[in-house]
Amino acid sequence: MGKKILDSKALYVVLSIAIAVVMWFYVTSMDGNQASKPIRNITITFSGEEQLESNGLMIAGDAPSANITVKAKPAVLAQLTDKTVELVVDVATIERAGDYTLAYTVKLPSNISASQVQIINEGTGNVSFTVAEYRQREIELRGKFEGTTAEGYLAGDQEDFVFSPNKITISGQAELVNQVSYAEVVVTGENLSENVRGDFPYRFIGASGDVIDNLDVECSVATVHTTFPILATADIPLKVELVAGGGVSLDQVTCTLSQESLTVAGSKTAVEAIQSEGSIVLGTIDLGTVHDGDVITFDIALTDELTNISGVTQVTATLDLDDSLKSKTVEVTNIDCISPPDGWAAKALTQMVEVEVRGSQELLDAVTPDKIRVVADLKDINQAAGQYTVTANVYLDSVGTRDQIDVVGRDYKIVVSLYRA
């Protein structure tokens, strides 16, 4: 029993000491006893920056900081830190760039009144800072490819880059903003065979072409969605289609092209489509309109999906006719007009047309002027009295086919007179 009482007394002693300590802290925090403490490295807050920017100005560099000492009751003092106390400088009245030293005001937490705290400034109570000219401008975006492509593929050109947005806006200190010539997106990758798409960072390039690192400006976006084409390539044969005629069969002519093939680039789909066609057809030559040694020029036309990377834009076709082919000129007087408009009549004023005929010597010997007719079809002639030069068709009556013997040329003309019937 005695030991239990003794243990109870020891407990009472401990409790009494704890209660005394708590009461002491309470009394000292609530009575008039004040303490002081320094608050260091409080970042200055600037008010009126919107007005400053409207004047084309801004605070240059990092915001300065200051130290203060505060004196208050312990309970109040505990709430005052560099995070809860603000030092505010009003810059709304500044109208030009330069160095300034202005006084700051102390802003306490909303639950603490100024009467509860005594502010003891360390130093003058002023802070120095620099105001610089402010500028905002749009910057052009450019792309640069620094990767490699797989065999049979070609990277696009610089102008093939597509950006979204297509420009960025930077703002900040004018002398820094003015250093930027353009922003550059760099695309990399090894053995690429597909178009590149994705969000890429960019870097600033100065007027001299050098990269500008760590430029202290604000940017409208951190990355730019970039698309860059990786094109498939292929060599495609070139071809001219020949149509027999003029007494020339397909096995009696040799057509030599100045360029046998063309290298093209485009999407996989577009390149595979042109490969499946087997060749690029430059055009058609009617053998009834040409002579031995003629050189005909063709422009190379591609679909919008393909790019000509050979650099050749025209191809010539040189025609060599078989030496067995002969020709002669026949003076034809059998000239007629057909199908004049209703109410009109016509007659040919041209009395003779020289017609070239080509074929084997045996068939040519059988051709006489009476076997050739020159006929002008007037169904589309202007319905007004007068004389007109019109195109005429030439017909050859022969036992041979057109690729054995035929008229050479398709542009025979005669003069006709049109009059009221």
Q: Give the pTM.
A: 0.63
Q: How far is CA 383 from CA 160, 262, 349, 390, in A?
A: 55, 50, 18, 14
Q: How far is CA 239 from CA 175, 255, 261, 282, 303, in A?
A: 61, 10, 9, 6, 16
Q: Where are the beta strands (DSSP E) in 1-49?
A: 35-47
How far is 411 from 358, CA to CA, in rounded Å? 16
User: Domain 326-420 belongs to what topology?
Assistant: RNA Polymerase Alpha Subunit; Chain A, domain 2 (2.170.120)
User: Domain 37-124 belongs to what topology?
Assistant: RNA Polymerase Alpha Subunit; Chain A, domain 2 (2.170.120)
pLDDT of residue 400: 85
Q: Which residues of 335-363 are buried (b: 16+ CB within 10 A; e: fewer)?
A: bebeebeeeeebebebeebebbbbbeeeb
Q: Are the C-beta atoms of residues 230 and 153 closer than 8 Å to each other?
A: yes
pLDDT of residue 125: 87
Helices (H), 31-173: 49-54, 74-77
Helices (H), 247-368: 268-277, 361-365
How far is 69 from 73, CA to CA, in rounded Å? 13
pLDDT of residue 8: 61
pLDDT of residue 29: 47
What CATH number has the domain spanning 232-321? Answer: 2.170.120.40
Those residues of the chain that have pLDDT short of 50 are 1-3, 5-6, 24, 27-31
Classify 138-228 by CATH class. Answer: mainly beta
pLDDT of residue 22: 53
Return the biggest CA–CA distance within the chain: 161
Strand order across the beta sheet in which 295-299 lies: 253-257, 314-321, 295-299
Token duo for residue 173:
């200190």
Strand order across the beta sheet in which 386-396 lies: 335-338, 372-377, 386-396, 412-420, 344-348
Q: Is the bond leading into 165 cis (omega within 30 degrees of zero)?
A: yes
How far is 232 from 289, CA to CA, in rounded Å? 39
